[in-house]
Amino acid sequence: MAEAAPLLDVRDLHAWYGESHVLHGMTFSVRKGEVVTLLGRNGVGKTTTMRSIMGIVQKRAGSVRYNQTETIGLPSNQIARFGIGYCPEERGIFASLNVTENLLLPPAVKSGGLSLDEVHALFPRLKERARSQGTKLSGGEQQMLAIARILRTGAELLLLDEPTEGLAPVIVQQIGAVIRDLKARGLTVLLVEQNLHFAATVADRHYLVEHGHVVDEIENSQLANSRQRLEAHLGV
């Protein structure tokens, strides 16, 4: 029996910021229900890859297929409606709105988004802070709110850009538990991370990125046997 086509299939993706050529043929895939990480040092093109998938980077070439539909020439609002949610590193919380208002803001892109009650069950802290303004939240609470807001939309593929950056270890553990919960619900996650230890607790596979392209792929179960490869590319 033939293997099902990947949910996300990126082939020979190039991207530019002005005259600066940032991605040099990114090629990788993510199957439905997987958690996959893009691992690499700062500045290798991981965030640009996510922004290119979402159509935020204007100048891009190659192929990005979602559910076997080519998206490379489409605007970002149309790409989002396919069921792709992007959580940028800066989180994008609306400071003047409280937690509940932030959660109610995004439109549904597909059916199946979480209700407020379901969000509160997954993130009890957001229920406690429901009336708090965005500016009053800790970094961890803002990250939870940013993820929860995407889950309200019905997105089936989540692009999470460094969700653990700058967070205390106990909050990092909570974010890990949430990602494992999302996987159990059948959602698919593409994760940008520098924290290999965290990535190893949630991911099925890892792609190592250098100079705007994938240089290696490692199954999570093989991480312990891949020290030399990790050291060569990540310096860990």
- Would the pLDDT of 182 be above 70? yes
- CA angle (121, 191, 8) in 5-degree steps: 105
Hey, where are the domains in the chain?
Answer: 32-58+76-234
Average of per-residue pLDDT across 122-127: 93
Please state, in angstroms and as integers, the Cα–Cα distance from residue 192 to each residue in 25, 75, 131, 159, following that order.
17, 22, 31, 8
The Cβ-side half-sphere exposure at 203, using a 13 Å CA radius, reads: 25
Least confident among 70-74, 107-111, 120-124: 107-111
Average of per-residue pLDDT across 27-55: 95
Query: Does the predicted model carry a pTM greater than 0.85?
Result: yes
CATH (one of 3.40.50.720, 3.60.10.10, 3.40.50.300, 3.20.20.70) for 32-58+76-234: 3.40.50.300
The strand ranges marked E within the chain are 8-17, 20-30, 35-39, 59-66, 69-70, 84-87, 157-161, 188-193, 205-210, 213-219
Identify the sign of the CA torsion 153, 155, 158, 159.
Answer: negative
- Would the pLDDT of 2 be above 60? no
- Would the pLDDT of 54 be above 90? yes
Spatial contact of 167 and 143, defined as CB atoms under 8 Å apart:
yes
Distance in angstroms (rounded) separating the CA atoms of residues 114 and 112: 6
- Would the pLDDT of 233 be above 80? no
User: Which DSSP state fits 164?
Assistant: T
Distance in angstroms (rounded) separating the CA atoms of residues 206 and 208: 6
pLDDT score recorded for residue 135: 80
The mean of the pLDDT values for the chain is 91
pLDDT score recorded for residue 219: 94
pLDDT score recorded for residue 224: 80
Spatial contact of 62 and 72, defined as CB atoms under 8 Å apart:
yes
Average of per-residue pLDDT across 6-32: 96
Average of per-residue pLDDT across 225-230: 80
- Would the pLDDT of 123 be above 70? yes
Least confident among 49-53, 180-184, 225-229: 225-229
pLDDT score recorded for residue 228: 78
SS3 63: strand
Q: Which residues contact 203 (CB under 8 A, 6 or more apart)?
A: 35, 36, 37, 191, 220
Span 93-110, pLDDT tens digits: 888 899 999 999 888 888
223 pLDDT band, cuts 50/70/90, is confident
Span 134-160, pLDDT tens digits: 888 998 999 999 999 999 999 999 999
pLDDT score recorded for residue 180: 95
84 pLDDT band, cuts 50/70/90, is very high
